[in-house]
Amino acid sequence: MADKASIAVVGTGWWATTAHIPALIEHPRVGKIILVDQNPEAARAAAVKYEIPLAHCYTTISEAKAAHPDLQGAIIATTHHAHYPAAKEALDAGLHLLLEKPMTIYAREAKALVDLAAARDLKILMGYTFPYLPTVAQAKHYIDDGLIGEIEYVACSMSSVTYDLLLGHPERFEPAGGYAVTGPTRETYSEPRVAGGGQGVLQITHLAAMMFHLSPGMRAETVTAFMNNLKAKVDVIDAMAVKMNTGALATVGSSGNLRPGDPGSVEVHLHGNRGRILVDGFTGEFFMHLHDGRQEHVPRHSPGYPAATPVDKFVSILLDGAIPLFPGAVDGLFTVELLEAAARSAALNGMPVQIADLYA
Ligand SMILES: NC(=O)c1ccc[n+]([C@@H]2O[C@H](COP(=O)([O-])OP(=O)(O)OC[C@H]3O[C@@H](n4cnc5c(N)ncnc54)[C@H](O)[C@@H]3O)[C@@H](O)[C@H]2O)c1
């Protein structure tokens, strides 16, 4: 195996230039960095900022792979609707993936990627971050050890400061020092044909993936949902009820209408037949109460955001053959199924949607 990883970043907008490219530059086990963006200006601006050779900029993955046969992996950080074609092109080129959320917009697309990766013996790591936090990892450890028993009910709630993005005003979301290089466009998170949805695909994707990560074997079967767009073209407020294949029931809700300064919540509260565990990725809070009376509590604090961790884990996959902690086949696919079914249900004024029908 190579000593250093050669990685392409596909989509060099806000998140890639804020999180992934800096993490690659800092990583001692990353060698060549290739930038791919359909907008050559975005790739060039990122190259200039991070002192990557301009000759390493391309507009398609195929061109990049043809010029650099040593490429091993691609980080897909395009706008949401482009995830599927970009990820497919990268898998076709024989590259392992670090794939940003949501995996795809449609379950059929996610399943096609899972099948293609399996057929080519390639790995897909989803770009989720919250499960790396110590309190979430602790919850996972306790649940895997059977402390709360069989999961019967999950209450998931996420509230965040995303309304301006969903309205198409990324300039109001800009950090004090400005975007690192290129910020999101007005369409990135507000235009359905680009974003593929609103708060669901942007934020609930984190929440639902955390739920599936913490509940091994659980997968949605039937979903009913209501959504409110407020003044946006995409959903801002979501309320979903879910029946799982295990018989467990879940509620999944979210609001994007918080104001700056409010840390919000990304809270998964799992109830089993032996006790319950609550974890919140934004505040770091952890609470466990078992039926035998045992309790543990980590109060709210500022756990930070592990933005660079996905790149580090991806490098281990490429160089050491590590197994993805959040594989596309579970955290990616199951989350897309839930979100697509919820969007379909909301369009039918809350009529239940079967996951199986997404594939009919
Ligand atoms: N994990 C997190 O905390 C986090 C935070 C922010 C964004 N994200 C995710 O990162 C991804 C990118 O979001 P963003 O805000 O950087 O968007 P952005 O609009 O700023 O950048 C996307 C870039 O992708 C390029 N692009 C679009 N289609 C392409 C294609 N087919 N091939 C090559 N390039 C293409 C665009 O030209 C643009 O430069 C999204 O999936 C988003 O949900 C994750």
In this structure, the residue with its CA closest to atom 27 of ligand 1 is 78
Angle formed at CA 127 by CA 125 and CA 59, multiple of 5 degrees = 90
- 156 forms beta bridges with 252, 268
Q: Give me the percent of the chain exceeding a pLDDT of 90.
A: 98
Calpha distance 165→13 (Å, rounded): 14
Q: Give me the percent of the chain exceeding a pLDDT of 70.
A: 100
The binding-site residues of ligand 1, defined as CB within 6 angstroms of any ligand atom, are 10-16, 36-39, 42, 77-80, 82, 85-86, 100-101, 127, 129, 184-185, 188, 202
- For 76, the enclosing helix (H) or strand (E) is strand 73-76
| Listed residue (158, 157, 264, 277) closest to 215, CA to CA | 277
Give the CATH number for residue 36.
3.40.50.720
Query: For 99-115, what is the mean pLDDT?
Result: 98
Query: For 60-72, what is the mean pLDDT?
Result: 98
In this structure, the residue with its CA closest to atom 38 of ligand 1 is 13
Cα of 126 from ligand 1 centre, angstroms: 14
Calpha distance 6→69 (Å, rounded): 10
Query: For 70-81, what is the mean pLDDT?
Result: 98
Query: For 286-297, what is the mean pLDDT?
Result: 98
Asked if the structure places residue 59 within a domain, the reply is yes
Looking at the structure, do residues 157 and 280 belong to the same domain, yes or no? yes
Q: What pLDDT does 1 receive?
A: 66
Query: For 111-132, what is the mean pLDDT?
Result: 98
Query: For 49-53, what is the mean pLDDT?
Result: 98
Q: Measured from the CA of 81, which atom of ligand 1 is nearest? A: 28
Query: For 147-164, what is the mean pLDDT?
Result: 98
Residue of 9, 61, 100 best suited for mutating to test ligand 1, as the one with most atoms within 8 Å of CB: 100
Q: Measured from the CA of 85, which atom of ligand 1 is nearest? A: 31
In total, the chain counts a number of residues equal to: 360
> What b/e string do you get for 70-108 counting C-beta neighbours within 10 Å, with b at 16 or more?
ebbbbbbbbbbbbbbebbbbbbebebbbbbbbbbbbbbe
Q: At residue 92, what is the residue type?
A: D
Looking at the structure, do residues 233 and 102 belong to the same domain, yes or no? no
φ, ψ of residue 57 to 5 degrees: the values are: -105, 135
Looking at the structure, do residues 151 and 291 belong to the same domain, yes or no? yes
Q: Give the pLDDT band (50/70/90) at residue 2.
A: confident
pTM beyond 0.85, yes or no = yes
Asked if the structure places residue 53 within a domain, the reply is yes
Looking at the structure, do residues 112 and 162 belong to the same domain, yes or no? no
Asked if the structure places residue 331 within a domain, the reply is no
Residue of 18, 34, 37 best suited for mutating to test ligand 1, as the one with most atoms within 8 Å of CB: 37
Query: Per residue in 21-49, pLDDT tens?
Result: 999 999 999 999 999 999 999 999 999 99
Calpha distance 229→188 (Å, rounded): 16
Looking at the 3D structure of the chain, how many domains does it have?
2
Domain span at residue 241 reads 130-303+336-359
In this structure, the residue with its CA closest to atom 37 of ligand 1 is 39
pLDDT at residue 200 above 80? yes
The residue whose two tokens read 């996951």 is 355
pLDDT at residue 127 above 70? yes
Cα of 195 from ligand 1 centre, angstroms: 10
| Listed residue (266, 271, 309) closest to 290, CA to CA | 271
220-228/237-244 β-pairing: antiparallel
Query: For 234-262, what is the mean pLDDT?
Result: 97
Looking at the structure, do residues 174 and 244 belong to the same domain, yes or no? yes
Query: Per residue in 314-339, pLDDT tens?
Result: 999 999 999 999 999 999 999 999 99
Q: Measured from the CA of 188, which atom of ligand 1 is nearest? A: 19
Query: For 87-92, what is the mean pLDDT?
Result: 98
Query: For 273-293, what is the mean pLDDT?
Result: 98
Cα of 37 from ligand 1 centre, angstroms: 10
